[in-house]
Structure 1
Amino acid sequence: MKSRSILKKINILLLIVVISLSNYSYAQNSQSVKNIVLVHGAFVDGSGWKNVYDILVKKGYNVTVTQQALTSYESDVESVNRIIDQLDGQCILVGHSYGGAIITTAGNNPKVAGLVYVAAHAPDEGESEGNNGKLYPPAYKSMIKGEDGFDYIDPKKFPEDFAGGVTKDMASFMAISQTPTADVAFKAIIKNPAWKTKPSWYVVAKSDRIINPYLERMYAKRAKSVTIEVAGASHCVYITHPKEVSDLIISAAQGKK
């Protein structure tokens, strides 16, 4: 009788331990990443993230917006890593357009928990976004290559090609305030792409004229990204559809696959 009582107590203790471990594991998995880093792409700066920023901050996230100089791929990656290193804890790294190539490398930072690509490039080992763009040619023909090695979008065609859906006044302002981008940045060869080891999410802009939507789908499929497609969205999907973009970023922060 005594041995049965002892065995019963042991079984109860084991059950308590199992339940406790399960609850602990669930709590760990359900914890959200609170830091979000938003990385802009070529020809623009971080101000375009304002609508997404506002939504995420109201949801309680700590949001940082990068302002890399677009003078070289290496320096842009360094700029983003500098921001990541300053954070207290892990982050979700979000990249738009050329910013996707940046987070593909910067995402190897140990503090990065996941990657979100927003109408962005996600090159593989040995690839560059410039060469990948030739596989699925984009619709726009408005890039101007400066004699000084910096590229920009023809301001007259910027609203239609880059900023479809953005208000006329804002698109016109973006056109004349754009940041010329070093042509060599688009030719940078990617090494050790972070999406191969980190979970990823992807926003496909179905009416993108800067990056062919079929290329975006290829990137998302190859990276096994959780993917949404936004109908009617241009390359500026992060400006025109901030809720859809923010919702996917929140899903990434919560680890939802």
Structure 2
Amino acid sequence: MVKIKDGLVLDVEGLRMRYGATDVLHDVTFQARPGEVLALLGPNGAGKTTTIEVLEGFRARSAGRVEVLGEDPARADESWRARVGVVLQSWRDHGKWRVRELLAHLGSCYTGYTEPWDADELVAAVGLTAQANQKIRTLSGGQRRRLDVAIGIVGRPELLFLDEPTVGFDPEARREFHGLVRALGDTTVLLTTHDLHEAESLADRIVVLDGGRIIADGTADELAKLIVGEDEVRWTHDGRRFTRSTTESTRFAFDLFREHGDEITELEVRRSSLEDTYIALVRRAEETSR
């Protein structure tokens, strides 16, 4: 097994992809460390899918350096692939397979490369014990997505790719899935999603792509500092409800209490969200490129 260099599970520098005369990725550079959940965000056509396919070893890059788990995925062998898990948006249905027997079969494929999960332990880990002997085609959407994750982690991967993992989920199923991802422990996760609340909930760090370029890289709080957004302050005074947008919400709230004291009730501050920051970053990048 190749050891990762400098404690980096992903080390991407100057990644470039060209189709004909068109560059779809320009000097993409980022890293990820063990156990980190990294969200890759961007509008349609930003280059997310191409980036992921290069990292997974499914697409050859035009230029740049890419190391995944210490190896170049373009030249990696089966022992490297056994260390990587992939959960796509959808899988080809496995027909008449039952949950436990499919996971047992897939686990056997990792023998000699890694120490796969025991099928019963894995079924329990993803919350499908009651469905262990159920045919896959009879599972609900949320249960099927749990199985998708089980398929992705059956070989105990060091790195897991999650592509739009909760598309079509209801709120309860989404919340359960987020809990499952958080329970993966030391596994590094690269998540692509259009759900900004999901990114904010799960990701330790966020990389934003637009037009094939990285326009931001950092925690949600760090990205928020790149854009001076306005918070919304709401309060009640003399039975009337007031709203004020300001970049100095803490100072504004303090001044309110200093002036009116206990006359102020129902005070709340809505701070700029990741969604606000993301929209502002993409708009700024588009304006700059014009």
Q: Structures share a fold, TM > 0.5?
A: no
Higher helix share: 1
- The structure richer in strand per residue is 2
Structure showing greater Rg: 2
Higher relative CO (CA 8 A, sep ≥ 6), structure 1 or 2?
Answer: 1
| TM-score of the aligned structures, taking structure 2 as reference length | 0.27
Structure 1 length-normalised TM: 0.30
